[in-house]
Amino acid sequence: MTALREPPIRPEYVLPLQPALAAPAPANASLPLDRFGWLRKPAILLALAVVWELAARWFDNDLLLPGAIQTAKAFWEGLLSGELIGYVSVSLAILFQGFLLGVAGSFLLTWLAVSNRFGRELIDTLTSMFNPLPAIALLPLALLWFGLGKGSLLMVLVHSVVWPLTLNASAGFRAVPDTLRMAGRNYGLGGLRMVLQILIPAALPSILSGLKIGWAFAWRTLIAAELVFGSTSGQGGLGWYIFQSRNELFTDKVFAGLATVILIGLAIEHVVFQALERVTVRRWGMQR
């Protein structure tokens, strides 16, 4: 009976200590090339330029395919003469006006989409209709409404920016967790303070993605539209420079204009958007 009342007692024992394992070496220690990560992209561009030059020399026809060296020479001469800078300044001035107008319109539509259910369904319908519509397809209508000039360019630029940015920003605001909203209310936030301190920071990764997509759409739309404007009115920016160089059979200048389009896109991506991401979403731990 006594053995049934008392629970079994496990005998005590002491485990011998195991020798500590050596700490694993840092991953970067075995990869010295990672210290020069900032050189990877320039190295890729240099390799592409070498392949381009070799292909041009093998093709041996400067009229159809000038080499990288010949294109770089035409690009440098365009910079020194100021011709290329003048065309670029015209394009960028119109681009920034259209981009800012598109951003302002997109924020207005986003506010309407997140404010009530009717606005949400309205914006969902409009984005489904107009987001797949290429902006360049609206150019004939823009010419009919605004004629040859800056008004037509601004119309297609605003269309290029407003819909992708509205779509991304609306999705970002809808994806804000209820936990963050409740935390904001617990701190006494409400109205504009809730929007500025909780909703916008939480939706900022989606907003930045929309800005990048809108910028890329606007840049390519502007170059395409300037090709049309240049062929009809003799005025335009970088797209007209490319079109005019093609008419005069300066193929190296055509490639120099195309390289300028690419370089400006890379510069805006690295200088503006990556800097914004570095000081906001990456600093806050929302993006790697």
Is 102:160 a contact under the CB 8 Å cutoff?
Answer: yes
Cα distance between the two ends of the chain: 66
Using the 8-state DSSP alphabet, how is residue 199 labeled?
Answer: I
Give pLDDT tens digits for 89-138: 989 999 999 999 999 999 999 888 888 888 888 988 999 999 899 888 88
CB count within 10 Å of CB 213 equals: 17
- CB burial of 145-156 (b: ≥16 within 10 Å; e: otherwise) equals eeeeeeebbbbb
- pTM comes to 0.78
Is 238:181 a contact under the CB 8 Å cutoff?
Answer: no
Query: How confident is residue 33, by pLDDT bands cut at 50, 70 and 90?
Result: low
Output the CA–CA distances (angstroms, integers) from residue 244 to 238, 239, 247, 256, in the order listed. Answer: 10, 9, 5, 13
Q: Give the integer Cα–Cα distance in Å for 92 and 135.
A: 18
